[in-house]
């Protein structure tokens, strides 16, 4: 049992949890007051539960991607190891940006729960004071993960490119190459700044991770390594 490889299960399971929270979240593409008004209209605990599910999903998924990188490093050539090291840095950066974004959301949601009492130093002066603070936290959350797709996308591109270079693709191995165009498409999300585009490319990115993890679980896809690359010498 202790010898089981967790990587494919994390790659497949993490995105599923994240997608549950993503499609359950009450906001879509609203900004500013429209976005925070939606938070004001929701109960605090369901929102916190969805954030908790999303956080677990993100940690599991990025953890699986990071473990995949470490697995691919075993016996890899020096250049491939360097590329995978940069990919690992991008994964950590994407995770940090995600957590910063979630932190802003937590502050915004918790701010809604405080009472309004001008005489209390630990309460809001008035509704305007509360609204300004909530919007500030919400804007901070958006700033936190604005660059997340770029870091995540770069990690996918590097993993896919390294996999392609480590072994000649055949059959299901082309799934690793698929990481490159999907990663490029996802990294363009902040540049295009189109909510409809993000709503399309985000599920595609999630599905790519789920399919790769599922194929690995089924034994139809393995992580590229020195065992499949005769050019690498120990």
Kindly indicate the confidence band of residue 226, based on its pLDDT and cuts at 50, 70 and 90. low
pLDDT in tens, 4-63: 788 999 999 999 999 898 888 877 666 767 777 777 777 778 888 888 999 999 999 999
Phi first, then psi: give them for residue 214, nearest 5 degrees: -65, -40
Rounded Cα distance between 207 and 121, Å, is 48
Burial pattern 85-124, b for ≥16 Cβ within 10 A else e, equals eebbebbebbbebbbbbbebbbbbbebbeeeeeeeeeeeb
pLDDT at res. 160? 94
Q: What is the percent of the chain where pLDDT is above 70?
A: 88
Report the pLDDT averaged over residues 84-104: 90
For 216, the enclosing helix (H) or strand (E) is helix 195-217
Model confidence at 122: pLDDT above 70: no
Q: Bigger pLDDT: 191 or 35?
A: 191
Residue among 27, 52, 22 at smallest CA distance from 42: 27
**pTM, entire model:** 0.84
Report the pLDDT averaged over residues 81-91: 95
Model confidence at 127: pLDDT above 80: no
Kindly indicate the confidence band of residue 229, based on its pLDDT and cuts at 50, 70 and 90. very low
């Amino acid at each position: 049992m202790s010898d089981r490889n967790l990587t494919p299960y994390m790659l497949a399971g993490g995105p599923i949890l994240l997608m549950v929270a993503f499609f359950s979240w009450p906001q879509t593409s609203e900004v500013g007051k429209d976005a925070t008004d939606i938070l004001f209209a929701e109960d605090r605990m369901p929102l916190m539960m969805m954030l908790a599910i999303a956080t677990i999903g993100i940690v599991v998924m990025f953890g699986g991607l990071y473990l995949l990188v470490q697995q691919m490093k075993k016996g890899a050539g020096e250049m491939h190891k360097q590329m995978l090291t940069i990919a690992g840095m991008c994964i950590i950066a994407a995770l940090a940006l995600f957590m910063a974004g979630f932190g802003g959301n937590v502050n915004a949601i918790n701010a809604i729960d405080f009472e309004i009492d001008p005489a209390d130093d630990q309460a809001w002066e008035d509704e305007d004071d509360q609204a300004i603070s909530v919007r500030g936290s919400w804007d901070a959350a958006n700033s936190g993960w604005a660059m997340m797709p770029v870091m995540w996308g770069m990690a996918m591109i590097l993993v896919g490119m390294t996999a392609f270079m480590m072994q000649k693709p055949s059959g299901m191995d082309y799934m690793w190459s698929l990481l490159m165009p999907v990663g490029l498409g996802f990294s363009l999300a902040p540049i295009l700044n189109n909510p409809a585009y993000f709503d399309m490319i985000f599920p595609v990115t999630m599905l790519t991770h789920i399919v790769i993890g599922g194929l690995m679980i089924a034994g139809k896809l393995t992580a590229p390594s020195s065992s499949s690359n005769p050019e690498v010498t120990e």
